[in-house]
């Protein structure tokens, strides 16, 4: 519904309307004064000289007072405090001014020539017409000026007694109606513009506030994410230490003389330790992706041996849950990093087993153009369309409000997605709720000219190393476990908890290799320890870094050193292979 322009608007809009009208006064004060003087000289005669001079003075005085009043009341503070009082004063001023300009006809019409009369009528009509653009924003003030000015002209013309003047008087009334209609339209347009400006200002302020809220939320989220990463890194490091030592002790214990019952208990403890290690390694995989320290080693390899290995590992888990695990043979050779592809496939298969209650899963690969599409199908709970992007976020799990550890940490798909992006491979999902899902990983097919390197799946029994080893770790339990394990591998072993103690031991008996924890006491690192020992014994001293840290900055620093890096908890077989790699033949 349109607002009535004759009704005064709310205060803040009225203030803007007054600012428009009062602001226009300054641009008209000089032209109106000059016009009054021009009329005085053009229409003055002996019979009207005194009256016309009085009129000119009154017109100029009203004009100058209007200018003074406008300058005085234009400041925002005054307008905001007294808008309605200013409107009433403005109406009175405009009414007086309208009477003054209308009086021009009564003063000059009886004595002026035809040209003079035309000039007088034109002056009043021009003043009324000009008021549409300068005064119509406050419509009552415009009417207070135009109505007396034009009505007086019409009345004078009607009293002339000539039919032609009667017609001209009626024309003046029609002109008055036309001016009112134009002024009303102009007033509505001005009011609408002001209202829209306030709305836009309000929207901009609201947007600014919402932007501030969003920015604060983003900062809090970033701070929360940093705090989460620090907490995970610290918790992961502190948990890895005892689990790492536990795994080493269990390996040493398993090679001692045990009764069948004791061997069974050791196997149970080993399974529990392995489950804890797998969860920590999942956190590590995610941290490595976040840190950007994964460097793919791309080469051509056959997919089928990898699928066979995954099937051998996960089929017992599927059987235990009453699920059927099937895979299809293929002869495809792909170009990628086999270790990272294996990790992606492990997470996809593990996810399928965890979220399938009955039926089973199928792992297959088919050729599609120049890509091999590796597919993991399941008959599990399925994923709603709205959740199909969310499942790739870290720590996001479906149907696990109780946080059952057997369903993992909610990082498997996030890791698979991150590794796929690192490799530049497309990982997609299609799913139907309550019917199952299929994850597809597209791998480029290797050209026939590339040499296929076999993927090593098994490792032989450890042989005696026969080397002198120096272990540096500030955790006494880890040092003890490492000493027992290395001695079982035929090593002479000494251990130190600080860089200074390690240098003292090395000065007495030079080691063949050094194994150092990354984080040492007093904020020192294994990099410093290895550098100090190499300065003492030579830069070719074989060295190995071990860390329980998952903080992205530390992972990047350790990787940049070029020293082989293992992550706690380390299985004895991984440690053994690393030692064989760094020791000279």
pLDDT band at residue 245 under the 50/70/90 scheme = low
Return phi, psi of residue 403, to 5°. Answer: 55, 50
- The sign of the CA dihedral 575, 577, 579, 582 is negative
| pLDDT surpassing 90 at residue 130 | no
Average pLDDT of span 38-50: 87
Please give the mean pLDDT across all residues of the chain.
79
Mean pLDDT of 251-276: 67
Provide the pLDDT confidence category of residue 465 given band limits of 50, 70 and 90.
confident
In angstroms, the CA 247 to CA 570 distance is: 8
Quick one: pLDDT band at residue 99, thresholds 50, 70, 90? very high
- CA distances for 452 relative to 302, 305, 307, 395, 447, angstroms: 7, 12, 16, 37, 10
Q: How long, in residues, is the chain? A: 585
Three-state DSSP at 230 gives helix
Distance CA 44, CA 55 (A): 11
Averaged pLDDT, 137-148: 87
Task: Tell me the backbone φ, ψ of residue 563, rounded to 5 degrees.
Answer: -85, 135
Q: Is the pLDDT of residue 208 over 50?
A: yes
Overall average pLDDT of the 109-125 stretch: 86
Does the N-terminal peptide bond of residue 569 adopt cis geometry, omega within 30 degrees of 0? yes
Classify the phi-psi angles of 410: left when phi > 0, otherwise alpha if psi is within -120 to 50, otherwise beta: left
Dihedral angle, C-alpha 254, 255, 259, 263, nearest 10 °: 20
- Give CA torsion, residues 127, 132, 134, 136, to 10 deg: 130
- Greater pLDDT, 227 or 236: 227
Strand partners, 492: 468
If pLDDT is split at 50, 70 and 90, which confidence band does 235 have?
Answer: low
What's the CATH code, domain 295-444? 3.30.565.10
Task: Using pLDDT thresholds of 50, 70 and 90, give the confidence band for residue 54.
Answer: very high
What share of the chain in percent tops pLDDT 70?
78
pLDDT given at position 459: 43
The separation between CA 162 and the C-alpha centre of its own chain, rounded to angstroms, equals 81
Choose among 345, 339, 344, 307: nearest CA to 326.
307
Q: Please state the rounded mean pLDDT for residues 117-139.
A: 86
pLDDT in tens, 513-549: 999 988 888 888 888 999 999 998 888 889 998 887 6
Of 345, 347, 450, 361, the closest CA to residue 391 belongs to 347
Q: Has residue 90 got a pLDDT over 80?
A: yes
pLDDT at 470: 92
Integer-rounded Cα radius of gyration of the chain: 46
Whether the Cβ atoms of residue 582 and residue 546 lie closer than 8 Å to each other: no
Mean pLDDT of all residues in 176-202: 84
Of residues 498 and 258, more confidence is placed in 498
- Give the three-state DSSP class for 121: helix
The reported pLDDT for the residue numbered 294 is: 61
Q: Which long-range contacts does 197-200 make (Cβ < 8 Å, 24+ apart)?
A: 197/16, 198/12, 198/13
Cβ atoms of residues 181 and 152 within 8 Å: no
Q: Minimal CA–CA distance to 500: which of 480, 481, 472?
A: 472
Q: How far is CA 224 from the centre of its chain?
A: 14
Separation CA 318–CA 494 (nearest Å): 45
Model confidence over 389-418: pLDDT tens digits? 767 665 545 544 444 444 444 567 887 888
The residue among 221 and 552 whose pLDDT is bigger is 221
CATH class for the region spanning 230-293+459-585 = alpha beta
Any idea which of 20-29, 33-42, 396-405, 408-417 has the lowest mean pLDDT? 396-405
Q: Domain residues of the chain, as ranges?
A: 11-160, 230-293+459-585, 295-444
Contact 526, 535 (CB under 8 A): no
Residues with Cβ < 8 Å from 262, sequence gap 6 or more?
none
Is residue 67 within a helix (H) or strand (E), and if so which, with residue range?
helix 49-73
CA proximity to 3, closest of 140, 184, 214: 184
Given a contact cutoff of 8 angstroms between Cβ atoms, the answer to whether 470 and 515 are in contact is yes
Looking at residue 255, its pLDDT comes to: 66
Sort strands 333-336 and 371-378 into parallel, antiparallel or unpaired: unpaired
Confidence at residue 10, expressed as pLDDT on a 0 to 100 scale: 62
Candidate from 140-144, 309-313, 498-502, 559-563 with smallest mean pLDDT:
559-563
Beta bridge partners of 85: none
What residues contact 214, with CB distance under 8 A and at least 6 apart? none
pLDDT exceeds cutoff 50 at 1 = no
For position 552, what pLDDT does the model report?
A: 64
What pLDDT is attached to residue 449?
53
Q: Please report which confidence band the pLDDT of residue 72 belongs to, taking 50, 70 and 90 as the band edges.
A: confident
d(CA 88, CA 247): 93
The predicted pLDDT at position 383 comes to 78
**CA-CA distances (angstroms) from residue 230 to 18, 225, 551, 568?**
60, 9, 7, 17
Q: What does the alpha-carbon distance between residue 102 and residue 261 come to, in Å, rounded to a whole number?
A: 122
Whether pLDDT at 61 is above 90: yes
Averaged over 358-385, what is the pLDDT?
87
Residues 6+ apart with CB under 8 A from 425: 336, 441, 442, 443, 444
pLDDT at 183 over 90: no
**Phi and psi torsions of 296, nearest 5°:** -60, 140
């Amino acid at each position: 519904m349109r607002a009535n322009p004759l009704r005064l608007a709310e205060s803040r809009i009225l203030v803007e309307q007054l600012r428009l009208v009062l602001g226009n006064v300054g641009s008209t004060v000089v032209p109106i004064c000059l016009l009054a003087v021009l009329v005085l000289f053009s229409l003055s005669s002996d019979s009207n000289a005194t009256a016309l001079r009085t009129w000119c003075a009154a017109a100029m005085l009203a004009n100058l007072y209007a200018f003074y009043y406008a300058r005085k009341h234009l400041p925002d503070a005054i307008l905001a405090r007294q808008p309605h009082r200013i409107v009433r004063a403005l109406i009175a001023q405009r009414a007086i001014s309208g009477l003054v300009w209308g009086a021009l006809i009564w003063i000059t019409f009886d004595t002026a020539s035809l040209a003079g009369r035309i000039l007088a009528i034109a002056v009043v009509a021009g003043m009324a017409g000009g008021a549409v653009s300068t005064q119509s924003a406050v419509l009552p003030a415009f009417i207070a000026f135009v109505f007396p000015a034009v009505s007086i002209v019409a009345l004078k013309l009607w009293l002339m007694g000539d039919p032609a003047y009667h017609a001209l008087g009626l024309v003046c009334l029609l002109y008055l109606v036309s001016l009112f209609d134009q002024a009303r339209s102009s007033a509505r347009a001005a009011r609408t513009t002001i209202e829209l400006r306030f709305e836009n200002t309000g929207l901009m302020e609201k947007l600014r506030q919402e932007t501030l809220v969003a920015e604060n939320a983003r900062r809090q989220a970033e701070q929360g994410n940093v705090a989460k990463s620090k907490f995970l890194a610290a918790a992961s490091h502190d948990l890895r230490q005892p689990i790492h030592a536990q795994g080493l002790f269990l390996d040493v214990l398993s090679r001692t003389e045990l009764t069948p019952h004791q061997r069974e208990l050791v196997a149970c403890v080993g399974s529990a330790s392995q489950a804890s290690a797998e969860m920590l390694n999942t956190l590590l995989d995610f941290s490595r992706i976040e840190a950007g320290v994964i460097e793919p080693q791309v080469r051509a390899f056959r997919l089928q041996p990898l699928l066979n290995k995954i099937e051998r590992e996960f089929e017992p888990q599927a059987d235990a849950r009453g699920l059927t695990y099937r895979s299809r043979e293929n002869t495809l050779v792909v170009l990628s990093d086999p270790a990272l592809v294996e990790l992606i496939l492990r997470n996809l298969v593990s996810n399928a087993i965890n979220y399938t209650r009955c039926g089973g899963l199928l792992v297959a690969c088919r050729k599609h153009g120049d890509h091999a599409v590796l597919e993991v199908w399941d008959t599990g709970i399925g994923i709603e369309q709205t959740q199909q992007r969310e499942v790739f976020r870290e720590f996001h799990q479906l149907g696990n409000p109780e946080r059952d550890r057997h369903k993992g940490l909610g990082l498997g798909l996030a890791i698979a997605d991150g590794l796929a992006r690192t490799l530049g491979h497309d990982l997609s999902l299609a799913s139907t709720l309550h019917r199952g899902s299929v994850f597809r990983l597209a791998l480029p097919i290797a050209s026939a000219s590339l040499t296929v390197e076999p993927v090593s799946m098994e490792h032989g029994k450890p042989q005696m190393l026969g080397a002198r080893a120096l272990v540096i770790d500030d955790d006494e339990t880890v040092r003890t476990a490492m000493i027992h394990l290395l001695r079982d591998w035929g090593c002479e072993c000494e251990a130190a908890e600080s860089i200074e103690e390690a240098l003292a031991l090395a000065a007495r008996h030079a080691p063949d290799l050094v194994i150092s924890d990354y984080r040492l006491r007093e904020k020192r690192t294994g990099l410093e320890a290895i550098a100090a020992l190499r300065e003492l014994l030579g830069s070719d001293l074989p060295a190995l870094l071990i860390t329980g840290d998952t903080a992205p900055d530390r992972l990047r620093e350790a990787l940049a050193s070029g020293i082989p890096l293992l992550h706690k908890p380390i299985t004895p077989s991984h440690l053994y292979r690393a030692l064989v790699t760094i020791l000279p033949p």
